[in-house]
Amino acid sequence: MTVFKDRFLGKVALVTGCGSGIGEAVVRRLSAEGAQVVLAGHHLGKIKAVADSLPAERTACFEADVSKLDQIEHLVEFAVGRFGRLDVLINNAGVSAPGTLLEGPESDWRMISAVNIDGPLFLSRAALPHLIKTRGAIVNTASVSGLAGDWNTAYYNVSKGAVVNLTRTLALDHGADGVRTNSVCPSVVETPMTAERREDQAFVQRMVDRVPMKRLARPDDVAAAILFLASDDAAFINGVNLPVDGGTTASTGQAAF
């Protein structure tokens, strides 16, 4: 991993869903690049286990379920109270469940829409007054499944499509306030979210075959893109939904000639 020394020095970043996977890679990079980091997740033990290896004076943990409005508001108050400002919001927490519209129970949609849509939407709303003060940045973890459809993950596709358009909406309405909003759109990443599915070697092979770069994404591939979009290096990049997919979405979807 290339660490850009002090790129986030003096900046305060709030990251959700960082007890594992992409979020964990993001907080490790942010901390290595000098940020004060607030780790948020709904399992305190998981985020504390990550925080334990980071500098204590620049690290804080807050247990919050991003699908719950009151907890979201407390989370933002905690972050600003702890470090005095907020420069970066990374809406990364997310959940998935398999199934077509006919197969997935209503409870799956309620859960997925609450975490994947309500979470980033209301957390952005709570954080915006503070981000406007610092001319900060929001980065959402969307998905290639929000740029086009994927088979057998109906509710997830719809939820990530909403995140993609939330990104554009915030970029339009708050670009003039100095707040940039972008998202990353990964293909299948080697994280706990896909661990069970990846036990099926035939599934992994099918997925790898469709990626021009012939491998799955790694958490650090995605974290590096998130940090770029959150940093001043991306000062004039706003409203972008960036595929991190080894070229998968470069295809029309047709088979090779």
Ligand X SMILES: NC(=O)c1ccc[n+]([C@@H]2O[C@H](COP(=O)([O-])OP(=O)(O)OC[C@H]3O[C@@H](n4cnc5c(N)ncnc54)[C@H](O)[C@@H]3O)[C@@H](O)[C@H]2O)c1
**Active-site residue flag, 156:** yes
Choice between 136 and 186, CB closer to ligand X: 186
Q: How far is the CB of 160 from ligand X (least distance, A)?
A: 7
| Whether the Cβ atoms of residue 244 and residue 186 lie closer than 8 Å to each other | yes
Half-sphere exposure of 79 (CA within 13 A, CB side): 30
Q: How far is the CB of 67 from ligand X (least distance, A)?
A: 5
Q: Is 76 buried (19+), middle (13-18) or exposed (0-12) by CB count in 10 A?
A: buried
Choice between 22 and 89, CB closer to ligand X: 22
Q: How far is the CB of 16 from ligand X (least distance, A)?
A: 6
Q: How far is the CB of 228 from ligand X (least distance, A)?
A: 16
Judged by the rule CB under 6 A, the positions of this chain that interact with ligand X are: 16-17, 19-23, 41-43, 65-67, 92-96, 115, 141, 143, 186, 188-189, 191-194
Identified catalytic residue from 92, 156, 167, 187 = 156
Residue in this structure with the two tokens 């859960």, named with its chain if needed: 111
Choice between 67 and 157, CB closer to ligand X: 67
Question: What DSSP line would sit under 68-132, residue for residue?
Answer: -HHHHHHHHHHHHHHHS---EEEE-------B-TTTS-HHHHHHHHIIIIIHHHHHHHHHHHHHH
| Whether the Cβ atoms of residue 99 and residue 153 lie closer than 8 Å to each other | yes
3-state secondary structure (DSSP) of residue 229: helix
CB atoms closer than 10 angstroms to residue 182: 25
Catalytic residues: 156
